[in-house]
Chains A and B, each alone.
Chain A
Amino acid sequence: MIRVIKDWLEDRAGAGKALRAFMDEPVPKSTGWRNTLGSVAGALILGQIVTGVLLMLFYVPHPDAAYESLEYVAGSLRAGGLILALHYWGASFIVVAIFAHMARVFFSGAYKKPRELTWLVGVSLFGVIMGFAFTGQLLPWNQAGYWAAKVGIEIASSAPIVGDLIKQLLTGGETLGALTLTRFYTIHVILLPLALGVLVPLHLYLLRRHGPMRPAHDASTDTAPFYPGQLARDLVMISIVFLGLIAVAAIFIGPRSGPIDLTDTSYIPRPEWFFLSHFEILRITPGSLKIVATFVLPNILLVLLLALPWLDRANTTALKDRRLILSAGTVVIAAI
Chain B
Amino acid sequence: MSESMSRRRALSILIGAIVAAWSTAVAALSGLFISSTLKLGKTGKEVLLGDLTIYGDTFRAVRMRVRVDDGWYKHVEQQTVYIRADKENPSAPIVLSGTCSHLGCTVAWDESRGENGEFVCPCHGGRFGPTGKVLSGPPPSDLTRIPAELHGGDVYLRLS
**Residues of A with Cβ closer than 8 Å to B?**
50, 54, 57-58, 60, 65, 68-69, 71-73, 76-80, 82-83, 227-229, 231-232, 235-236, 239, 242
Contact = CB atoms under 8 A, between A and B. Distances in A.
A65 B74 CA distance: 11
A83 B21 CA distance: 18
A245 to B, nearest CB: 12
Contact of A50 (B8, B26, B71): B26
13 contacts: A50-B26, A54-B33, A58-B71, A65-B73, A68-B72, A69-B71, A78-B32, A78-B33, A79-B29, A227-B15, A228-B12, A231-B15, A232-B15
Contacts of B33: 54, 77-80, 83
Contacts of B35: 78
Contact of A228 (B15, B37, B72): B15
A65 B32 contact: no
B11 A229 contact: yes
A77 B36 contact: yes
A232 B26 CA distance: 20
A83 B29 contact: yes
A235 B15 contact: yes
Contact of A77 (B15, B18, B19, B37): B37
A60 B8 CA distance: 49
B160 interface: no
A76 B19 CA distance: 30
B30 interface: yes
Contact of A65 (B11, B14, B22, B72): B72
Contacts of B73: 65
Interface in B59-84: 71-73
A33 B36 CA distance: 40
B86 to A, nearest CB: 41
Contact of B72 (A50, A54, A71, A232): A71
Interface SS, B side = helix
B22 A239 contact: yes
Contacts of A68: 72
Contacts of A78: 32-33, 35-36
A235 B34 contact: no
A80 B36 contact: yes
B11 A232 contact: yes
Nearest to A46: B26
Nearest to A233: B11
Contacts of A69: 71-72
Given A54-B30, A77-B33, A228 B11 contact: yes
Given A65-B73, A228-B15, A236-B18, A50 B36 contact: no
Contacts of B34: 54, 57
Which 9 interchain pairs have the tightest Cβ spacing? A72-B72, A228-B11, A77-B36, A235-B18, A232-B11, A78-B36, A69-B72, A78-B32, A79-B32
A54 B26 CA distance: 11
A208 to B, nearest CB: 19
B153 to A, nearest CB: 39
Interface in B36-52: 36-37
Given A78-B32, A79-B32, A228-B12, 5 more contacts: A54-B33, A65-B73, A71-B72, A77-B33, A239-B21
Most buried by A among B15, B19, B30, B33: B33
A98 to B, nearest CB: 21
Contacts of A82: 29
A236 B35 CA distance: 31
Contacts of A235: 14-15, 18-19
B43 to A, nearest CB: 14
Interface string B1-18: 000000010011011001
Nearest to A235: B18
Nearest to B28: A79
Contacts of B29: 79, 82-83
B36 A228 contact: no
A239 B18 contact: yes
B106 to A, nearest CB: 27
